[in-house]
């Protein structure tokens, strides 16, 4: 199922009546709790006077959850593709509401207290996130590791990487404008879908707001579907993959600048920092850091261009400004100059070796010339190859690197 289905139509293409709000609940074997959640949501819709529906996106339950949800007043949508994200995507595609509020069907969230979400959505918000840390987490509702390590760390990484004013990245209760979220082309099928929605909404400059919400111990007798380490890694991996700046650019720039500065400082001889003396061994490592840093910076640029061209990331004016300044010939020229420096240093090392009768050179003195020669040869050739690769990328994008 796809999240790009037209609002106001079922998955079979039949026209349906629009409603203001769809309360959407992903479900996989929630027979113990789903009926209570549906009844609570339906009672709230009636009490609040909201024109709405309750949709249960069933992900292959085998415990009779579908029948229980239907009897309680929900419309059940079968989603064949497994996964939390796949279930929600299928439910969004089948929803009839202008607004959608998603919440887990395990009784951990209060479907009788959705008024703040609706108020923010009516007020123009595109995405409204619940914040469990502001609303209250009841004893036993969240494992210690999730509460004090996993959620704060991942939410902090998300705020740092994407500058999103959200304190609880992974709250399972959230509301949004259906057409705006459908337009993002969300595609991850697993638990990382929660991060994808927030990140892509922020990158698209959506109006994101936050309201306090409570978290209660769920009503199930079985373990939750969430897997602490594997799902935590999936979230972190997604955040890194969607931030070339923090995955490649910033570490690369640090390694390149520090490595190049240390290499230059060690060319004339060892340096001392207090009781620490750095010599040719440090020169070798500094040169390696310079090369690795340059490669990381180029990976950041390549990733950004490819991600933008494929619609994974929104257009970036900085890339276009860079394109306006970059020319293939300039890049090749700079690379050849750096490569020429390496050739010159290599010639000096050969001359010194020849003057010594092709033997007997002090390894430390020779490395002080050979390492910069190697750095110039490798870095220069990398700049030339990068320039050509950028030009090839420009042929398949709207960015012109070839003129």
Residue owning tokens 């620490």 = 276
Of 62-71, 124-133, 216-225, 267-276, the one with minimum mean pLDDT is 216-225
d(CA 132, CA 147): 10
Write phi, then psi, for 121 (nearest 5 degrees): -65, -45
List the alpha helices (DSSP H) in 10-140.
Answer: 34-48, 65-72, 84-94, 115-122, 132-135
pLDDT tens digits, 267-314 = 888 898 888 889 989 999 999 999 999 999 999 988 888 887 777 777
Give the side-chain half-sphere CA count within 13 A for 95.
36
Strand partners, 241: none
Write phi, then psi, for 96 (nearest 5 degrees): -105, -10
**Burial 247-257, CB ≥16 within 10 A → b, else e:** bbbebbbebbe
Give the side-chain half-sphere CA count within 13 A for 77.
28
DSSP letter at 150 equals: I
User: Could you tell me how many residues make up the chain?
Assistant: 403
pLDDT tens digits, 115-169 = 999 999 999 999 999 999 999 999 988 888 888 888 888 888 988 998 888 889 8
Q: Is the pTM of this model over 0.85?
A: no
Give me 68's structure tokens: 């229980």
CB of 128 closer than 8 Å to CB of 211: yes
């Amino acid at each position: 199922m796809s999240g790009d289905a037209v609002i106001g139509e079922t998955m079979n293409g039949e026209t349906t009546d629009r409603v203001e709000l769809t309360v959407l609940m992903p479900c996989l074997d929630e027979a113990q709790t789903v009926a209570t959640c549906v009844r609570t949501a339906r009672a709230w819709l009636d009490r609040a006077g909201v024109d709405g529906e309750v949709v249960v996106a069933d992900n292959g339950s085998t415990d009779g959850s579908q029948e229980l949800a239907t009897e309680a007043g929900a419309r059940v949508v079968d989603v064949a593709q497994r996964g939390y994200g796949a279930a929600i995507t299928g439910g969004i595609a089948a929803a009839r509401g202008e607004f959608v509020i998603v919440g887990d069907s395990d009784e951990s969230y209060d479907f009788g207290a959705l008024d703040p979400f609706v108020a923010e959505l009516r007020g123009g918000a595109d995405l409204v996130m619940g914040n469990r840390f502001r609303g209250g987490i009841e004893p036993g509702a969240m494992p210690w590791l999730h509460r004090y390590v996993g959620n704060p760390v991942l939410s902090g990484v998300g705020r740092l990487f994407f500058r999103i004013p959200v304190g609880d990245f992974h709250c399972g209760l959230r509301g949004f404008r259906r057409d705006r979220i459908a337009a993002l082309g969300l595609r991850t099928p697993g638990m990382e879908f929660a991060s994808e929605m927030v990140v892509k909404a922020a990158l698209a400059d959506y109006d994101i707001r936050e309201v306090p919400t409570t978290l209660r111990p769920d009503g199930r007798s079985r373990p939750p579907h969430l897997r602490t380490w594997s799902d935590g890694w999936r979230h972190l991996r997604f955040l890194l993959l969607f931030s070339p700046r923090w995955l490649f650019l910033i570490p690369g720039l640090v390694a390149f600048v520090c490595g190049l500065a240390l290499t230059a400082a060690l060319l004339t001889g060892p340096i001392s920092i207090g009781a620490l003396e750095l010599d040719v061994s440090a020169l070798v490592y500094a040169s390696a850091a310079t090369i690795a840093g340059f490669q990381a910076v180029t990976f950041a640029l390549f990733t950004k261009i490819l991600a933008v061209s494929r619609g994974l990331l929104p257009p970036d004016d900085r890339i276009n400004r860079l394109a306006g300044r970059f020319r293939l010939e300039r890049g090749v020229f700079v690379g050849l100059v750096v490569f020429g420096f390496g050739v010159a240093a290599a010639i000096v090392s050969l001359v010194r070796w020849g003057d010594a009768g092709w033997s007997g050179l002090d390894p430390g003195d020779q490395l002080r010339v050979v390492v910069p020669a190697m750095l110039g040869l490798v870095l220069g050739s990398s700049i030339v190859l990068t320039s050509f690769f950028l030009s090839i990328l420009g042929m398949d994008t709207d960015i012109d690197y070839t003129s």
